[in-house]
């Protein structure tokens, strides 16, 4: 509102109770978690009501906070830096370094917070029906609630440590939930793999945080008076022109490794498809819409660090983009060879996360964040749809080829919501995926990453194709297996189906309960608790895209206003004030006011800000062009049509030219094998690396321990004993004792030698005496002369 | 150094009260087991009460100074005095030793290991308590040494009499190993005494005068102490007594060993070796750091190779103490704080893990990982507790283990001035890799023992179908956590969470004392 | 001074005494020979005492006479006892102390 003035501009920002108290949000589910653990089993709904209530409360609070944030943002001009709402308390301090805990609330935090609260609520409601009668029903809700607490804590984190706290809690919950049916070894192994893989990435998190902390702390303490664990401190430092390129690059790369692990990017994506062993609501909440975007969120959160560390606008290839691009294509390709519907969706998730990463890596910050937002809805909807099918139609099987097909007749609601979400995922206008994905592709190209724009388009084609295949197999064609009403007791489709089956059978009394689960009735629509969340998500899968609908002009670009941080150079002292949670007043520097031609450009990110600091880099936005959009739409439709045609030929008509092609054509066969074996990455990790460490290396180390080190100790003992024995036998017995003994012998010998002398004859004694005296006298005489 | 002498009775009483209990127990006939347990427990509780009172009286505003100081002439001919005192460094460990003893006493109420004889067992435990508490408050090297050695004998007998099958071997190894270290340590102490003018054994005096010793001499004296303390810690490659001792020791012994005894070594570094011989410490620090990270990785690898649960936990101690030593080797207050926090956290967590292992052994009569499975199903609460401890042990933020581990890693990035930065940064990365291994072996252990279906071997009665098969002996006692176990464990579990959520509780106390200790480096 | 003569007398007496101790088999004679030796010593002591003009030699000589009297007393008593038991005082028969 004061942007045109040449003086230092001052802006006063509104806030509100909810905005100031967002930190309460994660505490609610944390408390609910404790209550569920301790009292859940005694409650009428076995604890699920506590979970749902807490989720509703967090949803209400975060929505209110978001509303107040929008007020705060819209009250000022579009270029004015809006300070985040910060609260910080000292968590611990050591050696003068103080580590805080609190909240860092801005558009990014709020949008993700709302998504998490919203999807968590729906998934918990859905789970009430889906996991009805499960043996560990209460634990399930406890874990889900704890997960939400962890994720929310990470999202609002004021500093890196708080972020790590949430990050690891999510990892723990992921472990517990994937392994929910741990009676089956496959599930617990998948849980272990997920935790272990992400934990491998977390080395980067620990190292990166440490590197950045020590590199930046001096600067942030001096300039802002805060520790460089803080998000804002690190951001400002990264853009200050201060950091040496090595430190920030090392820090950024290390942090990105953690993101690779958490967000299932190549080459650490292998845990995510396996994680589908968990119950479907878990896949929907953790492994598609929320937890796995944590890595993406971290990149977005500390964007200035990555921006500078990877030199994002200065090159046309960098680490993040490459990883994102590879992930898009390889994951999408893998989705083609899956028969398990959840694995198709899992690879699709991996691929979509690749889009987000690629977007962030190429400077398309807002589109990537927007994609987090839209993707959450349609992917959650798809997973819940898959769960609905297995729950009510396919008798807990997820195998598309064996147990599905033709379900559109039986499950109209599931079918409709599935189709909507699929179109959104494929990026068909006007579904939400179109707006976000197209924007990513567009901006990637706009920022000079042309190669990766093509990768994005290829990915879009593949996405459309594999989703069409999955849709066809599931809802069209003829019903097969369980969905055709076949008895299913001996069919073990996937681990998950088996486990689900198992869990139900154990908990309830025999097979009576299964009657109500559709075995005898054949496929049918699921209950209200399942369909209502599906419908809500489907509506959002259409509607959420319009929050930032670039095609319709600037006034539709709401998220750009609400979420994107403004790249304005602001006075260090006022930022410091905000940094300490002071009043929301920010003094902008005159330098930022050169917006004569309406083309705003801030020096942030491109040059060293003079006399002030930036906390967000200046990014470009590609102008939307229908021509480009049309091209990508054509590609998507081509994908759908080709795939539809092939699916028809393959699965329905059994076209001889196509069926078994991979067996006949060597090249295709090799490709198929490569995909079926997941590029042999799993084999590499599990059979080579893990086995090597777990078996030969650890055994070797243990062998060294037992034989070498302990052997040395035992050897020392043995040597000591042996040498002691030798000493005993030879020195003690022979020399020392020998001396004693032989002195006796000598005495004896001498005695017997002298025996004749002791004749007992007094005369002889006298003679000896005098002889001796004479000799003695003689000696004396000789000596004295 | 200024010494605060108010209320100095609390330390002496707190340390020697267990001996009073021992005297009482000597006059109770051996057959009256309940009386023994009651007296021992009452003594431990009374000691803890004194400990709590110490916490209350402690002046947290002056945590860097020695408080409750008593200085009485003791052996004047060698100028050794009964000098005791407590500062922020000693306080947590001193108190922890009391807490652990009480918990172990409670646990012993219905868990006296074979071959019974609670009288002797509990008397040893009380003597042990005196030794442990004394070590943490002694401010005179001779006194320190005496307490340090007092600890040794009860532990030797505990392992040797109440231990497992190879108890003779293990106890002897434990004893000889530590005696070997102690011998060198004693030589180092004497060298220190004579090199500082044969004036006094008091640690504050030595801290003031130790720096004046010639550098080469310092290095040699440090070497002696290093071996003495490193054996106790235990650091690679002096650790081989630990797995044997832990595996063979009775549960109570393992818990005390893990929770307190190992810390005597690290405490010795922090209290004596480094402040007294700063020059030598700088020279040795990279090597200590190297051995520490080797210990981290090596301990983890050792864990992965184990087939016995208790042995695995024992090896994990090697890895965790590696983190502690890494923090110490940086010679920065940050690293020291991390190390001290790590000591307490490891004491709580690993102590708890040994409790769990003991209870598993009691129920299943085996600790072989292969034979155990489905504990979550058969003994759900025990399984959950074990999971909780595993998570705490692998350094999950929000639980105590993290605050020993992460700051230690962090501190390695910028070691004290004069130490090679690149080397320590390499250590940092290696240590960070170690956290992954920790996750690996603990979760692997957990997955194999807790998940899955209980093995048929132990489900003789579990199904409720029909009654015990012929070989069903001993399956009756596979029951969930008992009352005494709950009482003994809950304080540990709660502290793990409390310190995890609010680490400042401890850092507040440690920080000033650590800074005062490291003032010798002029920083 | 007539020291030489005294010494010569002492030496002769000594030699006779030694001869008696070694050669005689009669215990009483041996005792008497010992007396001779002792008295030869006495003569020597007195001779030197006179020569040096000090009373030391006299004192010693008196001692020796006293000791010799005691010795003879004990010796004769023993001989008497031996004779009572063995009816003989031949030293050759008294070889019980042979080693």
Structural domains of chain C, with CATH: 3-90 (1.10.287.3510)
* Helix ranges restricted to H, A224-244: 231-238
Work out the average pLDDT over B257-262: 90
Q: Which of A446, A447, A439 is nearest to A557 (CA)?
A: A439
For residue A101, the 8-state DSSP code is E
Query: CB contact, 8 Å: B241 with chain A?
Result: yes
- Touching chains C and A? (3+ Cβ pairs < 8 A): yes
Closest by Cβ to A766, choosing from C21, C92, C97: C21
CB contact A168 to B (< 8 Å): yes
Pair of tokens at residue A606: 């491109």
The pLDDT value recorded for residue A521 is 58
Is it the case that residue B387 has pLDDT exceeding 80? yes
Q: Do B444 and A168 touch (CB under 8 A)?
A: no
pLDDT value, residue C62: 92
The answer to whether residue A264 scores a pLDDT higher than 90 is no
Q: Would an 8 Å CB–CB cutoff place A663 in contact with chain B?
A: no
**CB pair distance less than 8 Å for B452 and A185:** yes
| pLDDT averaged over every residue in chain B | 86
CA distance B453 to chain A (A): 5
Q: For residue B466, is pLDDT > 80?
A: no
CA distances from residue C68 to C12, C24, C32, C38, C80 in whole angstroms, order as listed: 19, 19, 10, 7, 18
Confidence of residue A496 (pLDDT cuts 50, 70, 90): very low
- Looking at residue A79, its pLDDT comes to 75
Query: How much is the pLDDT for C54?
Result: 84
Q: What is the tally of helices (H) and strands (E) in chain C? A: 3, 0
Which residue among A165, A203, A709 sits closest to B398, beta carbon to beta carbon?
Answer: A165
Structural domain contains residue B414: yes
Q: Which of A754, A758, A763 is the closest to C91 by Cβ?
A: A763
pLDDT digits (tens, 9 = 90+) for B120-163: 899 999 999 999 999 999 999 999 999 998 898 899 888 888 88
Residue B43 lies in a domain: yes
pTM reported for the whole predicted model: 0.80
Say yes or no for a CB contact (<8 Å) between A713 and B515: no
Domain range enclosing B389: 9-457+476-518
Q: Which is nearest to A103 in space by CA: A81, A87, A84? A: A87
Residues of B in contact with A188 (CB under 8 A): 447, 451-452
| Residue A503 pLDDT | 42
Provide the pLDDT for residue C69.
92
- Whether A760 sits inside 8 A of C98 (CB atoms) is yes
pLDDT-based confidence at A611, cuts 50/70/90?
Answer: low
- Tell me the pLDDT of chain A averaged across its residues: 79
Q: What residue in A sits closest to C19 (Cα-Cα)?
A: A767
CA B200 to chain centre: 29
**pLDDT digits 0-9 by tens, A6-56:** 344 455 677 788 888 888 889 999 999 988 888 878 887 788 888 889 999
Q: Highest-confidence range of A111-115, A605-609, A655-659, by mean pLDDT?
A: A111-115
Q: Nearest C-alpha of chain A: how many angstroms from B332? A: 8
Q: Which of residues 177-216 of B touch A (CB under 8 A)?
A: 177
Sheet of A612-613: strand order equals A9-12, A585-588, A570-571, A612-613
Cβ contact, residue pair B176, A185, below 8 Å: no
Spell out which residues of chain A touch residue B415, defining contact as CB-CB under 8 Å.
none
Measuring CA to CA, which residue among A524, A534, A526 is closest to residue A416? A534
Per-residue pLDDT at A438 exceeds 70: yes
Amino acid A603: pLDDT: 64
A188: nearest CA partner in chain B: B447
Residues of B in contact with A699 (CB under 8 A): 305
Residue B221 lies in a domain: yes
Name the least confident of B174-183, B341-350, B381-390.
B174-183
Average pLDDT over residues B40-57: 92
User: For position A610, what pLDDT does the model report?
Assistant: 64
Q: Structural domain tally of chain B?
A: 1
Share of chain A above pLDDT 90, in %: 6
Q: Radius of gyration over alpha carbons of chain C, in Å?
A: 16
Token pair of C19, please?
């001869």
Interface test with C, best of A760, A772, A775, A777 (most C CBs within 10 A): A760
- Is a pLDDT exceeding 50 seen at residue A346? yes
pLDDT at A4: 39
Q: How confident is the model at residue C36 (pLDDT cuts 50, 70, 90)?
A: very high
Candidates C22, C41, C78, partner chain A, best to mutate (most A CBs within 10 A)? C22
Q: How far is B337 from chain A (nearest CA, A)?
A: 7
Q: What is the pLDDT of residue B292?
A: 92
ipTM, two decimals, is 0.85
pLDDT exceeds cutoff 70 at B175? yes
pLDDT at B163: 84
Q: What is the pLDDT of residue A550?
A: 79
Using alpha carbons only, what angle is made at residue A267 by residues A266 and A273, rounded to the nearest 5 degrees?
75
Share of chain B above pLDDT 70, in %: 96
Position B17 confidence tier, pLDDT thresholds 50, 70, 90: very high
Band of residue A590 on the pLDDT scale cut at 50, 70, 90: very low
Residue B217: pLDDT over 60:
yes
Give the model's pLDDT for residue B290: 93
Residue B2 is assigned to a structural domain of this protein:
no
Question: Which pLDDT does position B240 carry in this prediction?
Answer: 83
Higher pLDDT, B214 or A730: B214
The CA angle C37-C42-C43, to the nearest 5 degrees, is 100
User: Which residues in chain B have their CB less than 8 angstroms from residue A175's CB?
Assistant: 443
> Does the residue B269 lie in any domain?
yes
Listed ranges A756-770, B35-49, C44-58; the one with the highest mean pLDDT: B35-49
Proportion of chain A above pLDDT 70, given as a percent: 87
Facing residue for A188 by CB, picked from B177, B396, B451: B451
Chain C CA closest to residue A771 = C18
Q: What is the pLDDT of residue B469?
A: 42
Judged against a pLDDT cut of 60, whether residue A601 lies above it is answered with no
Which residue in chain A is spatially nearest to B180 when comparing CA positions? A713
Contact flag C21-A770 (C-beta cutoff 8 Å): yes
Question: In b/e form, how buried is each residue of A756-783, taking b as 16+ CB within 10 angstroms?
Answer: eeebebbbbbbeeebeeeeeeeeeeeee
Nearest by CB to B453, which of A96, A183, A202?
A: A183
With bands split at pLDDT 50, 70 and 90, how would you rate the model's confidence at B47? very high
Which residue has better confidence, A169 or A518?
Answer: A169
Percent pLDDT > 90 in chain B is 30
B390 in contact with chain A, both atoms CB, cutoff 8 A:
no
φ/ψ bin of B216: left (φ > 0), alpha (ψ from -120 to 50), beta (otherwise): alpha
In angstroms, the separation between the Cα of residue C25 and the nearest Cα of chain A is: 8
Write the pLDDT tens digit of every residue in B339-383: 999 999 999 999 999 999 988 888 888 888 888 888 888 888 898
Q: What value does the CA radius of gyration of chain B take, rounded to a whole number of Å?
A: 22
In sequence order, the 6+-apart residues with CB closer than 8 A to the CB of A86 are A102, A103, A104, A105, A158, A232, A578, A579, A580, A581
Residues of A in contact with C99 (CB under 8 A): 751, 754-755, 757-758, 760
Residue C97 has its nearest CB partner, among A751, A760, A767, at A760
Above 60 in pLDDT, residue B386? yes
For A654-675, the pLDDT digits (tens) are 766 666 666 777 777 777 777 7
Please report the pLDDT score of residue C40 as a whole number: 93
Instruction: Identify all chain A residues contacting B303, using CB atoms and an 8 Å cutoff.
Output: 698
| Domain parsing of chain A, residue ranges | 681-784
Which chain C residues have a beta carbon less than 8 Å from that of A754? 99
B463 belongs to a structural domain: no
CB contact under 8 A, A761 and C23: no
For residue A94, give the nearest of B4, B503, B44, B482 by alpha carbon: B503
Question: Span C3-32, mean pLDDT?
Answer: 88
- Model confidence at A609, pLDDT cuts 50, 70, 90, reads low
Q: How many pairs of residues across A and C have Cβ atoms under 8 Å apart?
A: 38
Burial status of residue A623 (CB atoms within 10 A of its CB: 0-12, 13-18, 19 or more): exposed
Q: Hey, CA dihedral for B365, B371, B375, B378, is it positive or negative? A: negative
Average confidence (pLDDT) over B57-70: 87
- For residue C21, which residues of chain A lie inside 8 Å, CB to CB? 763, 766-767, 770
Check A206 against B403: CB less than 8 A apart: no
pLDDT category at A499 given cuts 50, 70, 90 is: very low
- Name the DSSP letter for residue A494: -
């Amino acid at each position: 509102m004061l942007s045109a003035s040449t003086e230092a501009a001052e802006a006063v920002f509104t806030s509100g109770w909810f905005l100031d108290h967002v930190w309460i949000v994660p505490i609610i589910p944390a408390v609910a978690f404790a209550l569920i653990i301790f009292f859940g089993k005694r409650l009428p709904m076995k604890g699920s009501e506590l979970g749902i209530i807490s989720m509703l409360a967090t949803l209400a609070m975060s929505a209110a906070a978001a509303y107040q944030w929008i007020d705060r943002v819209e009250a000022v001009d579009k270029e004015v830096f809006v300070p985040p709402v910060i609260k910080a308390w000292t968590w611990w301090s050591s050696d003068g370094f103080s580590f805080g805990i609190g909240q860092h609330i801005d558009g990014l935090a709020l949008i993700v917070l709302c998504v998490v609260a919203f999807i968590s609520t729906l998934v918990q409601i859905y789970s009430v029906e889906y996991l009805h009668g499960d043996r560990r029903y209460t634990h399930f809700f406890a874990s889900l609630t704890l997960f939400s607490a962890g994720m929310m804590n990470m999202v609002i984190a004021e500093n890196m440590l708080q972020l790590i706290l949430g990050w690891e809690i999510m990892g723990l919950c992921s472990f517990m939930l994937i392994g929910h049916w741990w009676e089956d070894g496959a599930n617990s192994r998948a849980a272990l793999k997920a935790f272990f893989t992400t934990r491998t990435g977390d080395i980067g998190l620990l190292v990166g945080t440490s590197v950045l902390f020590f590199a930046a702390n001096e600067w942030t303490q001096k300039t802002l008076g805060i520790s460089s664990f803080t998000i804002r401190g690190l951001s400002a430092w990264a853009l200050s022109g201060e950091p040496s390129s090595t430190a920030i690059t090392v820090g950024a790369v290390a942090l990105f490794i953690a993101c690779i692990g958490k967000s299932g990017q190549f080459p650490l994506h292998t845990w995510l498809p396996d994680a589908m062993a968990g119950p479907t609501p878990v896949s929907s909440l953790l492994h598609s819409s929320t937890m796995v975007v944590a890595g993406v969120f971290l990149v977005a959160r500390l964007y200035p660090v990555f921006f500078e560390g990877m030199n994002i606008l200065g090159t046309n290839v960098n680490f993040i983009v490459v990883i994102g691009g590879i992930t898009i294509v390889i994951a999408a390709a893998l989705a083609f060879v899956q028969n398990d519907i959840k694995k198709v969706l899992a690879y699709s998730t991996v691929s979509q996360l690749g889009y987000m990463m690629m977007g962030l890596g190429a400077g398309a910050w807002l589109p990537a964040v927007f994609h987090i937002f839209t993707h959450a809805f349609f992917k959650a909807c798809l997973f819940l749809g898959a769960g609905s099918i297995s729950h009510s139609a396919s008798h807990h099987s997820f195998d598309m080829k064996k147990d599905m097909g033709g379900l559109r007749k039986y499950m109209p609601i599931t079918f409709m919501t599935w189709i909507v979400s699929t179109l959104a995922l494929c990026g068909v206008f006007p579904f939400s995926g179109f707006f976000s994905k197209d924007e990513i592709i567009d901006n990637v190209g706009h920022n000079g990453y042309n190669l990766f724009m093509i990768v994005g388009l290829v990915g879009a084609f593949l996405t459309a194709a594999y989703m069409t295949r999955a849709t066809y197999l599931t809802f069209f064609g003829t019903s097969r297996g369980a969905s055709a009403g076949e008895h299913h007791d001996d069919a073990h489709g996937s681990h998950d189906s088996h486990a689900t089956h198992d869990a139900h059978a154990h908990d309830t009394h025999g097979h009576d309960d299964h009657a109500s689960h559709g075995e005898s009735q054949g496929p049918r629509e699921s209950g209200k608790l399942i369909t209502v969340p599906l419908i809500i998500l489907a509506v959002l899968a259409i509607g959420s895209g319009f929050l930032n609908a670039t095609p319709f002009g600037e006034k539709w670009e709401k998220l750009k206003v609400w979420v994107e941080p403004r790249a304005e150079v602001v006075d260090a002292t006022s930022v410091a004030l905000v940094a300490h949670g002071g009043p929301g007043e920010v003094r902008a520097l005159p330098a930022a006011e050169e917006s004569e031609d309406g083309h705003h450009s801030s020096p942030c990110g491109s040059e060293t800000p003079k006399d002030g600091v930036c906390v967000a880099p200046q990014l470009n936005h590609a102008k939307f062009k229908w021509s480009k959009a049309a091209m990508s739409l054509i590609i998507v439709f081509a994908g759908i049509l080709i795939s539809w045609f092939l699916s028809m030929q393959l699965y329905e008509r059994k076209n001889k030219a196509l069926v078994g092609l991979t067996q006949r054509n060597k090249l295709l066969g090799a490709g198929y094998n490569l995909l079926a074996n997941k590029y042999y990455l799993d084999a590499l990790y599990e059979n080579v690396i893990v086995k090597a460490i777990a078996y030969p290396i650890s055994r070797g180390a243990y062998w060294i321990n037992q034989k070498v080190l302990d052997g040395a100790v035992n050897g020392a003992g043995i040597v000591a004993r042996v040498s002691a024995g030798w000493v005993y036998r030879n020195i003690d017995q022979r020399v020392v004792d020998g001396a004693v003994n032989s002195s006796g012998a000598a005495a004896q010998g001498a005695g017997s030698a002298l025996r004749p002398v002791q004749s007992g004859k007094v005369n002889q004694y006298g003679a000896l005496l005098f002889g001796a005296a004479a000799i003695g006298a003689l000696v004396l005489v000789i000596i004295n002369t | 150094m200024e010494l605060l002498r108010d209320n100095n009775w609390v330390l002496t009483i707190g340390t020697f009260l267990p001996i009073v209990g021992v005297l009482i127990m000597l006059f109770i006939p051996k057959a009256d087991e309940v009386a023994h347990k009651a007296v021992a427990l009452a003594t431990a509780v009374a000691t803890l009460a004194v400990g709590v009172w110490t916490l209350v009286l402690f002046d947290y505003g002056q945590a860097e100074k020695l408080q409750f100081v008593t200085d009485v002439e003791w052996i004047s001919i060698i100028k050794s005095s009964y000098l005791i005192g407590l500062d922020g460094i000693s306080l947590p460990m001193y108190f922890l030793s009391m807490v652990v003893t009480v918990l172990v006493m409670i646990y012993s109420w219905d868990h006296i290991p074979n071959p019974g004889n609670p009288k002797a067992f509990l008397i040893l435990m009380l003597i042990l308590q005196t030794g442990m508490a004394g070590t943490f408050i002694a401010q005179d090297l001779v006194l320190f040494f005496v307490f340090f050695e007092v600890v040794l004998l009860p532990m030797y007998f505990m392992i040797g009499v109440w231990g497992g099958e190879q108890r003779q071997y293990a106890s002897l190894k434990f004893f000889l190993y530590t005696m070997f270290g102690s011998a060198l340590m004693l030589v180092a102490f004497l060298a220190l005494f004579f090199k500082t003018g044969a004036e006094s054994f008091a640690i504050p005096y030595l801290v003031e005068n130790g720096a004046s010793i010639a550098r080469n001499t310092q290095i040699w004296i440090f070497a002696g102490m290093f071996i003495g303390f490193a054996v106790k810690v235990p650091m690679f490659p002096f650790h081989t007594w630990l797995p044997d001792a832990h595996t063979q020791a009775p549960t109570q012994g393992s818990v005390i060993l893990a929770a307190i005894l190992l810390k005597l070594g690290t405490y010795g570094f922090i209290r004596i070796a480094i402040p007294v011989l700063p020059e030598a410490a700088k020279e040795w620090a990279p090597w200590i750091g190297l051995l520490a990270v080797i210990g981290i990785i090596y301990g983890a690898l050792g864990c992965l190779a184990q087939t016995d649960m208790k042995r695995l936990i024992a090896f994990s101690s090697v890895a965790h103490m590696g983190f502690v030593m890494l923090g110490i080797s940086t010679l920065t207050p940050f690293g020291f704080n991390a190390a001290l926090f790590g000591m307490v956290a490891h004491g709580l967590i690993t102590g708890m893990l040994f409790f769990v292992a003991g209870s598993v052994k009691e129920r299943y009569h085996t600790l072989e990982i292969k034979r155990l499975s489905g504990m979550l199903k058969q003994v759900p609460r025990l399984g959950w507790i074990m999971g909780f401890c595993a998570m705490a042990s692998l350094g999950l933020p929000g639980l105590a283990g993290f605050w020993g581990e992460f700051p230690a890693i962090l501190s390695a990035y910028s070691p004290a001035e004069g130490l090679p930065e690149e080397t320590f940064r390499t250590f940092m990365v290696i240590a960070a890799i170690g956290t992954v291994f920790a996750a690996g072996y603990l979760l692997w252990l957990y997955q194999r023992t807790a998940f899955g279906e209980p093995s048929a071997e132990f489900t003789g009665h579990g199904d409720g179908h029909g009654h015990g098969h012929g070989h069903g002996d001993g399956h009756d006692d596979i029951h969930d956590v008992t009352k005494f176990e709950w009482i003994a464990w809950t304080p540990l579990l709660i502290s793990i969470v409390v310190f995890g959520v609010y680490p400042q509780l401890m850092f507040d106390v440690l920080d000033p004392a650590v800074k005062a200790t490291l003032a010798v480096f002029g920083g | 001074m007539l020291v030489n003569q005294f010494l010569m007398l002492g030496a002769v007496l000594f030699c006779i005494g030694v001869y008696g101790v070694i050669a005689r088999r009669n215990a009483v004679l041996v005792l008497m020979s010992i007396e001779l030796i002792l008295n030869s010593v006495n003569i020597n002591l007195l001779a030197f005492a006179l020569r040096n003009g000090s009373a030391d030699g006299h004192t010693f000589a008196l001692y020796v006479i006293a000791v010799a009297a005691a010795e003879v007393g004990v010796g004769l008593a023993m001989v008497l006892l031996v004779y009572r038991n063995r009816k003989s005082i031949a030293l050759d028969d008294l070889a019980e102390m042979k080693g």
